[in-house]
Amino acid sequence: MIETAFALRPTPTVPVEGGLPFPVRRILCVGRNYAAHRREMGGDDRDPPFFFAKPADAIVPPGQDVAYPSATADLHHEIELVVAIGPGGKVFGYAVGVDLTRRDLQNAAKAKGQPWDASKGFDQSAPISAIVRVEAVPGEAAISLSVNGVVRQQASIGDMLWSVPEILVQAARLWALEAGDLIYTGTPEGVGPLVPGDLVEGQIAGIGALSFRIV
Ligand code: MN
């Protein structure tokens, strides 16, 4: 180990059901991977999905509240299947995640052709459930999110434009996937605003569930 001027925070980790915690290297995210969400965002039906990223320390482990972020008046929820990459770049397991978004900043960035870091990659922008070590997700697993008990998003992961194997192929064209990488695979329609006090609950059949409160 090289001696450094100061110590960094420990590597962020995600609990693994029945195993040791998963250390997070980086977070990749897929945009516009469900046709109905692409339409609600005003996207062109011919635009393929694409990638953006969040820093590893944007992870919010299960059981932690999320502080309403600074510099936004339009925080949005996006429920997503998360693929966890293990040694050899192989799938390690799956989790349920929420891609929190400063929608007002994202809309302003889109209008000016600016990057999405401030709208997507902010502190505590990536809540996640525990990781389950299943080989594959059921093809038509139900994915849903509710706020204060009211369902906002409800779809099937079978609606994804890029399936998990296709996402891995597309990502591998751009990066060498390594152990510790997490890929948020995109959200279905029904995204909407959150305010302090809201209880967010998300689930994917056969994978798990997460819940957190905005404080
Ligand atoms: Mn998303």
Gap from CA of 165 to ligand 1 centroid (Å)? 18
**Pairing verdict, β 101-102 and 75-77:** antiparallel
pLDDT at position 135, please?
Answer: 82
Q: Is the pLDDT of residue 42 over 90?
A: no
> How far is 152 from 145, CA to CA, in rounded Å?
6
Q: Which CATH number is 14-213 given?
A: 3.90.850.10
pLDDT at position 66, please?
Answer: 98
Q: Where are the domains of the chain?
A: 14-213
Gap from CA of 99 to ligand 1 centroid (Å)? 5
pLDDT at position 134, please?
Answer: 87
Gap from CA of 192 to ligand 1 centroid (Å)? 12
pLDDT at position 49, please?
Answer: 94
Q: Is the pLDDT of residue 139 over 90?
A: no
Q: Is the pLDDT of residue 93 over 90?
A: yes
pLDDT at position 37, please?
Answer: 87
pTM: 0.97
pLDDT at position 92, please?
Answer: 97
Q: Is the pLDDT of residue 153 over 90?
A: yes
Q: Can you give the three-state secondary structure of the chain, one letter per residue?
A: CCCCCCCCCCCCEEEECCEEEEECCEEEEEECCEHHHHHHCCCCCCCCCEEEEECHHHEECCCCCECCCCCCCCEEECEEEEEEECHHHCEEEEEEEECCEEHHHHHHHHHHCCCCHHHHCCCCCEEECCEECCCCCCCCCEEEEEECCEEEEEEEHHHECCCHHHHHHHHHHHCCCCCCEEEECCCCCCCEECCCCCEEEEEECCCEEEEEEEC
Rounded to an integer, the average pLDDT of 103-113 is 98
Q: How open is the CA angle 3-85-9, to the nearest 5 degrees?
A: 30
Gap from CA of 187 to ligand 1 centroid (Å)? 5
Cβ atoms of residues 104 and 69 within 8 Å = no
pLDDT at position 45, please?
Answer: 80
Gap from CA of 126 to ligand 1 centroid (Å)? 10
Residues 180-207 pLDDT 10s: 999 999 999 999 999 999 999 999 999 9
Gap from CA of 105 to ligand 1 centroid (Å)? 14
> How far is 185 from 181, CA to CA, in rounded Å?
13
Q: Is the pLDDT of residue 157 over 90?
A: yes
Alpha-carbon radius of gyration of the chain: 16
Per DSSP, 51 falls in state E
Tokens 């919010």 correspond to what residue?
60
> How far is 113 from 110, CA to CA, in rounded Å?
5
